[in-house]
Amino acid sequence: MKYIINNILSSNKKVLVIGDIMLDKYVSGDINRLSPEAPIPILSNTQIHYKLGGASNVCMNIHSVGIKVDLMGCVGNDENGNKVIEILKDNNISSKYVFRDNQMLTTVKTRYLSNTGNQLLRLDKERYYEYPDVSELVQKFNEIVEIYDLIVLSDYAKGFLSKSFLKEIFTLTNRYNKRTIIDPKSNDIRKYDGCYLIKPNKEEFERFYKSTKTSIEYIINNSENILTELDVERLLITCSDQGMIYLRRGENPFYQPSYCRQVTDVTGAGDIVTAMLAVGFICDLCDEESIMLANKCAGVSVEQRGTSVMDVDDLKKVLPVSNKLVKNKDILPLLRAHYQSKKIVFTNGCFDLLHIGHLDLLKQARQLGDVLILGLNSDASIHALKGERRPICNEKDRTTFLTLISEVDWIILFNNEEELLMIIEALCPDILVKGEEYRGKQITGKEFLDSVGGEIVLIPHKYNTSSTNIIKTIKSRMSLHE
């Protein structure tokens, strides 16, 4: 998982999510008194906002980290169905495979919350409904299955993933050698015959297994018997705050303890796991690495209130700091697009023999915006600038040091001024930062930033230090002892 974000942003692979589409509605307001009619709080000054749920939440999470994804499902020809289509459009997710039906009621889960985040009540508006013309769904899936690298199925037992439709899906995915992941809600595990990976939570697993004798130790010690009895090849059992257990025929169970530090809200956590498993598979991580990624992301999601959506910044929080290094410059426009509503600050330099002056510059630069991207001179460029004896620290070491600095969000190596200008043009930063010593001097990228309304900020040095002066001091002190 060392450079998975680079793999995500440069991936051309596609995912198709199929399943029950839902709408999550949040009504939040102030609570200042209890009702005189009953011992219940009065909610006032309410605000309403919407998020995608179910299969559409899985799709949203895959999309938000930068993977190409489409959604197949059905919503009603009602106001809530229109809201689902609107949110998909607002997030640049196609609704071309989202069917509409006059007889269907779009599933809506309405949560009433205080402004402090405490959930008071949930009201579900739903109806089990199987799409009447399964042959239409199968025909459409047959037309498009080959263009996708992974099929994700989100079955909330609302009817779209009927037994007959699933049977056809697995027939086609196995014919075209496409991996499938399913988040199951049905009590009948036979409904999922042919699926690559079935991902029940512990309660769903107990229904499949017809037993509540399902402690972590029991599952681990009886993994082969469980797979044999259920007649499946793979199971990923999510066990809430106890973590996850992955069972495979002929392999030792793979257990991951929970990554969560504090549970705030479990809404959508299962969708996060499904989505991040898909991201891991798409990026060619092995099953175990994909599960580790999903587990960590789920741990972050339950620390937040409401239905969570992961993005690349959330991923960086749970991945090795090496993911700050942008190895493929072709993804720079994607980074710019990701931060379209945020202020990007850019600076560049050698950062050889990292010292307090460097740290202060980076700290001040980060305070000017929302994201700090650092262009780092490669070893070859420093040789050309400062001579064959420099740098003292090679680019691998310098990159490692800089990834550990919290103010730095991304690092990009460059070999010459032409590459540096290309990076600046691709990122189109709002602010370019240099040290005060550049006043009156030529600054690479200044003309471009002036043309797009960007800003150059020169930061004064608090500390009279530099790598060159440190080297001179070392040399002079060494000469005193010779």
423: nearest Cα among 444, 407, 408: 444
Residues 289 and 219 in one domain: yes
Residues 311 and 329 in one domain: no
Residues 228 and 328 in one domain: no
> At 414, which CATH number?
3.40.50.620
Give the integer Cα–Cα distance in Å for 310 and 96. 24
Rg (CA), the chain: 27
For this structure, is 124 an active site residue? no
> At 39, which CATH number?
3.40.1190.20
Residues 41 and 176 in one domain: yes
Sequential pLDDT tens for the chain (482 residues) = 678 888 888 889 999 999 999 999 999 999 999 999 999 999 999 999 999 999 999 999 999 999 999 999 999 999 999 999 999 999 999 999 999 999 999 999 999 999 988 889 999 999 999 999 999 999 999 999 999 999 999 999 999 999 999 999 999 999 999 999 999 999 899 999 999 999 999 999 999 999 887 899 999 999 999 999 999 999 999 988 888 999 999 999 999 998 766 655 556 688 999 999 999 999 999 999 999 999 988 877 666 666 678 888 888 888 889 999 998 889 999 899 889 899 999 999 999 988 999 999 999 999 999 999 999 999 999 999 988 889 999 999 999 999 999 999 999 999 999 999 999 999 999 999 999 989 999 999 999 999 999 999 999 988 888 888 888 888 888 777 66
Residues 71 and 183 in one domain: yes
pLDDT at 466: 80
Residues 243 and 129 in one domain: yes
Residues 161 and 26 in one domain: yes
Single residue among 294, 319, 344 that ends a domain in this structure: 319
Single residue among 297, 319, 341 that ends a domain in this structure: 319
Residues 151 and 165 in one domain: yes
Residues 252 and 333 in one domain: no
**Which residue in 24, 265, 271, 379 is the catalytic one?**
271
What is the distance of C-alpha 409 from the center of its chain? 16
Helices 55-64, 79-90: crossing angle, 10 deg rounding: 10
pLDDT at 305: 63
pLDDT at 260: 63
Question: Other CB atoms closer than 10 Å to residue 180's CB: what's the count?
Answer: 21
Residues 290 and 333 in one domain: no
Q: What total number of domains does the chain contain?
A: 2
Residues 276 and 337 in one domain: no
Residues 308 and 354 in one domain: no
pLDDT at 481: 65
Decide if 1 contacts 289 (C-beta within 8 A).
yes
Single residue among 262, 287, 319 that ends a domain in this structure: 319
Give the integer Cα–Cα distance in Å for 267 and 24. 10
> Model pTM?
0.89
Which range marks the domain in which residue 16 is found?
Answer: 4-319
pLDDT at 241: 82
